[in-house]
Structure 1
Amino acid sequence: MPTSIIIPIVIIALILFSSFFMVKQQTAAIIERFGKFHSIKQSGLKLKIPFVDKIAGKLSLKIQQLDVIIETKTLDDVFVKLKVSVQYKVITEKVYDAFYKLDYPHDQITSYVFDVVRAEVPKMKLDDVFVKKNDIAIAVKTELNDAMLDYGFDIIRTLVTDIDPDAQVKIAMNRINAADREKTAAQYEGDAQRILIVEKAKAEAESKRLQGQGIADQRREIARGLEESVDVLNRVGINSQEASALIVVTQHYDTLQSIGSETNSNLILLPNSPQAGSQMLNDMVASFTASNQIGEAMKNAKPKKLDK
């Protein structure tokens, strides 16, 4: 094929090839004709006039995110770094404004975020910054929406994703939290110890009460048994004094036998003569008689004092 034919074919092919272009999904292409804005092309296969029209640029219509880190000071003079994430997108109907009115949207958004955060955070104490981070995010979003809407940008959401105080401040905060937790733990331990002491005292009191009741019941049964024993002996002709002597002697020897059967008991010295029981009974009777005489004397002495 002659060269004179090949060259025109190649030129025509290049012209046709340059006449078509592809625009991706969620993208807008800005077409200029002789350096002047002509049209906006959406996604798909598009046609332009070669050497007359050109693609001045493309804008993504997807939601984008910009992370801005700001260092500022709180009301209680604590330096803190905040990370603010701004989610934004180009408004489809305002692609022209977004492309021609603003060269660097990231820088513009960053400037507004700095301005709002450094105006809001110095009004708050450090603890309030953590509590009211949503208020800070809302203030940033409101300011950005008012400012960026004219440039064709829509602010979808703003989030305060990180709050990082100065290292020394974080160490102090951790110490305060640790001290508070130790204080709470000590209070719980003290309450637990008090409850244990109270419950132990209640248990001991109940034990003493039951022990005393048991001793009283035991003595009551012993007295009832002695009374029955004396009645039985009286029926067979043994008077009360002889019956009491017999009972005392019997209990005396039973006690000796009980002590002797205990291998681990300490040494106890007791009188063991045949007259021991009788002597014990005589001592008991003598003490009862003496106490009765003293009681009678005190009764007789009271009226005489009154006469005086």
Structure 2
Amino acid sequence: MAWNEPGGGNKPRDPWGGDNQGPPDLDEALKKLQQRLGGLFGGSKGGGGGGGGGASASLIIVVLFGAALVWALMGLYQIDEQERAVVLRFGKYHSTAQPGLQWNPPLIDEVIRVNTTKVRAASFREIMLTQDENIVEVNMSVQYIIDDVKNFVLEVREPENSLKHAAQSALRHVVGGMTMDLVLTEGRTRIATEVDERLQNYLTSYTTGIRLSAVNVDDSKPPSQVQAAFDDVIKAREDEERVKNEAQSYANGIVPESRGQAQRQIEEASAYREQVIANAEGEADRFTNLLTAYRKAPVVTRERLYLDAVQNVLTNTSKIMVDVEGGNNMLYLPLDKLGTGSSAARSGTPMDINTGNIRELTDAVTEQLRRDAAAQQARRGGR
């Protein structure tokens, strides 16, 4: 019924049925509401007990209204920017709540919040066998974030425990395929890379919702029980490497020198061969030319050859034995004494003996010998 019904004049009507123009009394409004609800449910509208029952019903309604309001307010919650929330309705996955103000029916839906931007870390220390059957100890750390909150919360019961077991398995698999020297020295980067790839495949196949950020091999060393023996082995290998380097250095110094000497001898032999060949060819050409000259002038050529032979002989000796026809004695000529002048004798410098000097000296000696022989024959004839 409208507040200003036609035919009712200008006087406004009370929506609660009253004739007063003031605000309705709360008690009256509750009573009328109770009466109407009682009429709906078959309750009595009159009687002395109606007032007490109406008050109880009003209280119940207020309590129910307040409880409904509190229940509705309990369903409001805020999701931060770095979080995601998994909503379970009666224990079954319903949705994934994004950042912002959210509402879900309380006591019906369960909201599980997960920080998806926080970088978590886990460390592992494992003692294992290498490919060459040596024992090593490896310390490894893994950093990861939550990539899929649904899988992280629902698919695996303990995803972080699964991460630990998967990391140990991947580390043992990678280290078991490498030698101890590689694990302890430059193989750490390779171990971290292969473990990262293998572990991420494990976590993806397990649907853990975890994504790796980094895998680091913090330390790799032999177990403490064999550390002393391992140090001895390392020292022996260092000595071996040092001796090898010294030998290589010596080889690098001696081999090029030997090769140089061998090459020098080869070059000298080649030069000697060329020299011998050239001398032989020159002697052959000289003999050919000499034969040609001898055929043209035999006497002159013969004398020339004789003089050259005498020159060569006298050049290499300082003593000459001369036998003259008609003489009984063989003369001895000290050329080293005859070939020196007075000034040369004083200075100690010998005179040069050339072809002309030898020829003059030879002629003089020959002439003197002939004179001595003639004089000796003359004395014999006089007797």
Offset, 1:147: 2.3
CA distance in 2, matches of 1:106, 1:42: 23
TM-score by length of 2: 0.42
1:66 maps to 2:66: no
1:124-169 Cα shifts (integer Å, max 9, x gaps): 3322102201111111111122222351322222111122321143
Task: Report 1:203-214 matches (<5 A).
Answer: none
Query: Which residue of 128, 139, 153 maps to 2:194?
Result: 139
Contact 2:132–2:179 under 8 Å retained in 1: yes
TM-score by length of 1: 0.51
| Closer/same/farther in 2, CA of residues 129 and 178 from structure 1, 3 Å limit | closer
CA distance in 1, matches of 2:107, 2:233: 72
1:164 maps to 2:221: yes
CA distance in 2, matches of 1:138, 1:166: 24
1:215-250 Cα shifts (integer Å, max 9, x gaps): xxxxxxxxxxxxxxxxxxxxxxxxxxxxxxxxxxxx
- 2:176 is paired with a residue of what secondary structure? helix
Partner of 2:166: 112
1:15 maps to 2:90: no
Give the length in aligned residue pairs. 182
CA distance in 1, matches of 2:109, 2:145: 27
Offset, 1:107: 2.1
Partner of 1:40: 96
Contact 1:79–1:166 under 8 Å retained in 2: yes
Contact 1:81–1:164 under 8 Å retained in 2: yes
CA distance in 2, matches of 1:73, 1:64: 29
Contact 1:112–1:143 under 8 Å retained in 2: no
Query: Which residue of 77, 89, 103 maps to 2:157?
Result: 103
Tell me how large the CA RMSD over aligned residues is.
3.2
Contact 2:174–2:195 under 8 Å retained in 1: no
Based on CA coordinates, which of the two structures has the bigger radius of gyration? 2
* Amino acid paired to 2:227: K
Offset, 1:114: 1.9
- 2:63 is paired with a residue of what secondary structure? helix
Partner of 1:122: 176
Please identify which structure carries the higher helix content.
Answer: 1
CA distance in 2, matches of 1:138, 1:54: 40
Contact 1:78–1:169 under 8 Å retained in 2: no
- Unaligned runs of 5+ residues in structure 1 are 185-308
* Amino acid paired to 2:154: Y
CA distance in 1, matches of 2:79, 2:115: 11
Partner of 2:212: 155
CA distance in 2, matches of 1:145, 1:105: 13
CA distance in 1, matches of 2:233, 2:109: 68
1:183-207 Cα shifts (integer Å, max 9, x gaps): 98xxxxxxxxxxxxxxxxxxxxxxx
Partner of 2:144: 88
The answer to which structure, 1 or 2, has the higher relative contact order (CA under 8 A, 6+ apart) is 1
* Amino acid paired to 2:198: E
Partner of 1:240: none
- 1:103 is paired with a residue of what secondary structure? coil
CA distance in 2, matches of 1:64, 1:48: 29
1:79 maps to 2:138: no
Offset, 1:174: 4.0
CA distance in 2, matches of 1:139, 1:23: 37
- Unaligned runs of 5+ residues in structure 2 are 1-26, 28-54, 243-383
Contact 1:22–1:46 under 8 Å retained in 2: yes
